[in-house]
A and B are shown apart, each in its own frame.
Chain A
Amino acid sequence: MIPEFGKASGCVEENRFFCVDWVRDNWADVLQPALVEHVKLTAIAVAAGFAIAFVAALVAHRFRLVEGPFAAFSAIVYTIPSIALFQLLVPVTGLSVLTVEIALVGYTLLILFRNVLEGLRSTPPEVLEAARGMGYTRRQTLWRVELPLALPAIVAGLRVATVSTIALATIAAFVIPEGLGRPIFIALRDYFKTEIVAAGLLAIALALVADALLVLAQRALTPWAHARRTA
């Protein structure tokens, strides 16, 4: 569907690859709202996925028995094709944001769980022994030693989860009219190139920006990991 503004440019009428004027005219009404929705969908999915994976990893760190079942569960979820997962969920949760978020969260669990757990396990044994010997309690060791040292692995997991969720969230448009997937779906009907390209580029840009922000956050949180070796 080409929006009827009565003054469609030649570029739009010819359906060229990319028309800047269309993007300018439709930024406020079409692209910007879709971008904001996309950010929200992603943020909620990654935050909820992280909360679940984090707690599961803490439990698995304490009780090894938990690791196998949770890893298997998240791996199975990860292998379900997204469209199939939507199909499975719609009869239960309807054409709702909830349906989309359940699917998106499901896909983040595997990578986040693995990375948090690997991070927690990466503390060198002599560091743990020193902590114990100096009278850190188990809880203090977790919060003051193991978690800070797990940060690089945790952020690495968040980066992969965030970027893949941004890509995946375009498919949310199958279920709800939200996110950058919506303009793409609409444009696909008439194969209106500019809209597809613009929304696609926005998704890519969003992924790059989110990734860069996480890298910066990690640098700020883990100055010790970047300290020059020879002082």
Chain B
Amino acid sequence: MKAPRQAVEIVFDHATKRYPGRTVPAVDDLSLTIPPGEVCCLVGPSGGGKTTAMKLVNRLVELSSGDVRVDGRSVRSLDQTELRRGIGYVIQQVGLFPHMSVAENVATVPKLLGWSRAAIGERVDELLDLVDLPARDYRSRYALQLSGGERQRVGLARALAADPPVMLMDEPFGALDPITRARLQKELLRIQGELRKTIIFVTHDIDEAILVGDRIAILREGGVLVQYDTPDALLAHPADEFVARFVGADRGLKRLSLVRLADVPLDAPNGTVTPVAPEGTTLRDALSLMLSERSQQLLVVDADDRPTGVLTLERLTELLA
């Protein structure tokens, strides 16, 4: 596998989109910076302009004012089709070409860029492996012959084909059943761990944003950015009532699900403590365990079942503060 390209930064600089005949802008004076190699989730209610904001990056929507810079270069200064060929694009309905095989679909952008046949063939197999679709089985299938989850895997492989440093994903898992969805979210995180793309990920699901986002931007009706923060900061300190309502009354629990037992300071074990939980458990699950066992404390063990410490309810509440 080739060394991944250097990740790039995306900057929204007072980016604004107004549609003619509408009083309220779709995206209103949006300024935020996505550091190289991070996943930025754009979330918010419908009408929040999250998809519009994302499409400003590959110019499927043109800016009314302000600027968007990818790797320091204004998208306005780049040729539209060249720009798009350098950015991975994944949409909810996938949009696989029904008349092309899986391999031809994945080869779309490399073909546009004029890669050699051999290089394309090799790349296609590599990508199908990456998204866990054995090339031998899947290369010559058509979209009609794939399940929803398989289609989106192909969509992901197609977007990654030319190894673009930037990926735009518009509710990519929104049409999938919960099980397939959870599996693909995990896959995306695994792939992202390997490839370190700069990703804009649009979703209306705050839980998905908390799971996949390094940072989350919450947009309100009229395309106004309300808060841009890490998932933990967002859950701990919602900027206002709107964000607090959007992240949900269970934000304390959601925060707990971001942290694992291995990552928190524990008390020294003294005496026999039950229940027992492995250190990979999230604090949320640990709390749930304590509540269901009516216990004030819980013994944490490592992979070899050796005790590493004790978590108390008291300690847990301190951690949330």
Contact = CB atoms under 8 A, between A and B. Distances in A.
B91 A133 contact: yes
A132 B60 contact: yes
Interface in B68-99: 80-85, 89, 91-99
A227 B100 CA distance: 11
B99 A148 contact: yes
B142 interface: yes
Interface residues of A, number: 25
A149 B96 CA distance: 12
B58 interface: yes
Contact of B81 (A129, A137, A225): A137
Contacts of A124: 93, 95, 98
A135 B142 contact: no
B144 A127 contact: no
A136 B141 contact: no
A63 to B, nearest CB: 21
A143 interface: no
B39 interface: no
Interface of A: 124, 126-137, 140, 145, 148-149, 222, 224-225, 227-231
B145 interface: yes
A133 to B, nearest CB: 4
A135 B60 contact: no
B112 interface: yes
A129 B146 CA distance: 20
Interface in B121-159: 141-142, 144-146, 155, 158-159
A128 B101 CA distance: 17
Given A134-B89, A135-B112, A231 B98 contact: no
Contacts of A140: 112
B212 interface: no
Nearest to B159: A134
| Chain B interface size range | 20 to 34
A129 B94 CA distance: 9
A122 to B, nearest CB: 10
A134 B112 contact: yes
B109 interface: yes
Contacts of B158: 134
A127 B96 contact: yes
B108 interface: yes
A230 B101 CA distance: 15
A229 B144 contact: yes
Contacts of B91: 126, 129-130, 133
B145 A230 contact: yes
A126 B145 contact: no
B50 to A, nearest CB: 16
Given A133-B84, A135-B85, 13 more contacts: A124-B93, A130-B94, A131-B95, A133-B60, A134-B159, A222-B99, A224-B98, A224-B100, A224-B101, A224-B142, A224-B144, A227-B141, A227-B145
Contacts of B108: 134
B85 A127 contact: no
A229 B146 CA distance: 8
A225 to B, nearest CB: 8
A134 to B, nearest CB: 5
B81 A126 contact: no
Which among B84, B91, B96, B146 has the highest number of chain A CB atoms within 10 Å? B84
A137 B108 CA distance: 13
A129 B98 CA distance: 14
A132 B84 contact: yes
B141 A135 contact: no
Contact of A135 (B82, B93, B99, B155): B82
